[in-house]
Amino acid sequence: MALHENDRVYCKETELFSTSFYGSITKMYEHSALVKVEPDQLKKKETDKIDSFGDLVVIRQTELQLVDTEGQPLPEPEEKLEAAE
- Local confidence pLDDT in tens for the 85 residues of the chain: 689 999 999 998 877 777 888 999 999 999 999 999 888 776 655 555 565 566 888 889 999 999 998 888 887 655 555 656 6
pLDDT value of residue 13: 83
Pick from 7, 26, 15: which is nearest to 74 by CA? 7
pLDDT value of residue 83: 59
Contact 21/59 with Cβ under 8 angstroms?
no
The amino acid present at 50, given as its one-letter code, is I
Instruction: Kindly give, in sequence order, each residue whose CB lies less than 8 Å from that of residue 85, ignoring residues fewer than 6 positions away.
Output: none
Question: CA dihedral in degrees (72, 21, 38, 59; nearest 10)?
Answer: -110
